[in-house]
Amino acid sequence: MTTQKFKRLAVYCGSATPEDPRYMQLARQVGETLARQGIGVVYGGGKAGLMGAVAYGALDAGGEVIGVIPQALVDMEVANPDCTELHVVDTMHQRKQAFTDLSDGFVTLPGGVGTLDELWEAVSWAQLGYHQSPVGLLNAFGYYDGLLAFNHKMAEVGFVRPAHRDILIVEDTLETLLGAMAAYKPIQTIVQMRAEDL
């Protein structure tokens, strides 16, 4: 089986710091692991919460960390000045476009509304054919169990086409997730389908 070697992965995760310390530990371990495997991290450019933990985990392990952050958040002084590169953009849309342009795939860790926005846009863009990169979800501690049940419901009802049910790659550990993502085969996109198949 042909597998993909990642140069950089976009990592989506929360900017909050939960009371449960496992989430921050997980984020730091993800950053460290990616760096040790020679995979650069592309992330939201912040220094707080899980975002900061991923970045400093990678940086402390000698990895490349590229932050992409809107000017409004720079003005709030939440940007991480220690990134290997820090790209400042005007809008959230430009930020998400940069994640897609700079990375070979997407890994989503626990997070909130912004994290889900990034995850679903990556899935939606894969459906449409705007990228062919794997979209991974790390369901650590069962955090995304409810979301996965809803995703299954969308497919069951018919709002997710059979050809697109495997876009979202879900695993409980980073090692198994990276392996599954490396083996990902691009799907038939909406723009490749006939009108009667939509």
Determine the pLDDT at residue 161.
87
Determine the pLDDT at residue 186.
83
pTM for this prediction:
0.93
- Cα distances from 114 to residues 1, 15, 60, 93, 189, in angstroms, run 35, 9, 26, 12, 25
- Each residue's pLDDT, cut to its tens digit, for the chain (198 residues) gives 445 689 999 999 999 999 999 999 999 999 999 999 999 999 999 999 999 999 999 999 999 999 999 999 999 999 999 999 999 999 999 999 999 999 999 999 999 999 999 999 999 999 988 999 999 999 999 999 999 999 999 999 999 988 889 999 999 999 999 999 999 998 767 556 555 564
Residue 92 CA neighbour count, 13 Å, CB half: 6
Domain extents in the chain:
8-197
How far apart, in whole angstroms, are the C-alpha atoms of residue 100 and residue 121?
10
Sign of CA dihedral 79, 85, 87, 92: negative
Contact between 23 and 52 (Cβ < 8 Å): no
Determine the pLDDT at residue 1.
40
Looking at 1.10.287.1400, 3.30.1300.10, 3.40.50.450, 1.10.3470.10, the CATH number of the domain 8-197 comes to 3.40.50.450
Determine the pLDDT at residue 155.
95
**Which has the closest alpha carbon to 13: 22, 3, 23?**
23
Determine the pLDDT at residue 190.
55
